[in-house]
A = this chain, B = another copy of it.
Amino acid sequence: MKRNPPVIPSVVKDQRLVKERRQQIVEGAVRLFIKKGFHKTTTREIARACGLSIGTMYEYIQSKEDVLYLVCEYIHTELETRLRKSLYESDTARDSLRKCVENLFYTVDEMSSLIVLIYQEAKSLPKELMSYVLQKEEEITGIFENILIKGMEDGTLSVDENTVKLMAHDIMVIGEMWAFRRWALKRHYTIDQYTKRQMALILDKLIPREG
């Protein structure tokens, strides 16, 4: 069952201002979290980085964990938006998959620090917020699940019904792997090579058997 996004309460009422300031906060915090990690970043540093006084910052959040949540939400929104962009451009599901996976790989490349951030820090979220973040992760995986289902329908992709979800997760993880294993992969592959080869592996498996 789909859960509504958690509401982070703020003292300030003006919703336009809340949105604007929170964007500021996220921008400041992301940089710091990437560089030092969530726990080693202090609230004072975040405040300084986003140009607010510590008191003002706390008018827009309730705790440091809220900042982490806002950051995770921002990353997921950004990721989802980018992935959905290449979604409706293709005729066949096979073609759609190719485009979306390619898009995934290049997006992960550009957002790699952010992807890693979620992998490493989401665990520090309070339960309620964490489970929403996980749900979001699943929704994003759902993008690929849907393409695979379409491919089953239009006959351009060959997947077992029971393997659809698995394949979708595989694709996501193979994509994100470029972020969290980049220390090893970068020494042997460029993002272009990575994309081309992984794409081949993925699509090969999905060739519909002829005849």
Contacts and interface: CB of A to CB of B under 8 A. Distances in A.
A169 B181 contact: yes
Contacts of A169: 177, 181, 184-185
Interface in A123-178: 123-124, 134, 137-138, 141, 160, 162-163, 165-167, 169-170, 173-174, 177
B124 A201 contact: no
Given A166-B189, A197-B162, A201-B163, A134 B183 contact: yes
Given A137-B184, A173-B173, A205-B204, A166 B198 contact: yes
A120 interface: yes
Contacts of A205: 201, 204-205
**How many copies make up the complex?**
4
Given A120-B119, A123-B120, A173 B166 contact: no
A16 interface: no
Interface residues of A, number: 35
B184 A124 contact: no
Contact of A197 (B137, B166, B194): B166
Contacts of A181: 169, 173
A177 B184 contact: no
Given A134-B183, A169-B177, 5 more contacts: A120-B120, A141-B184, A167-B201, A170-B198, A201-B205
22 contacts: A37-B124, A39-B39, A119-B119, A119-B180, A120-B120, A134-B183, A134-B184, A138-B184, A160-B197, A163-B197, A163-B201, A165-B189, A166-B194, A166-B197, A166-B198, A166-B201, A169-B184, A170-B174, A170-B177, A201-B205, A204-B205, A205-B205
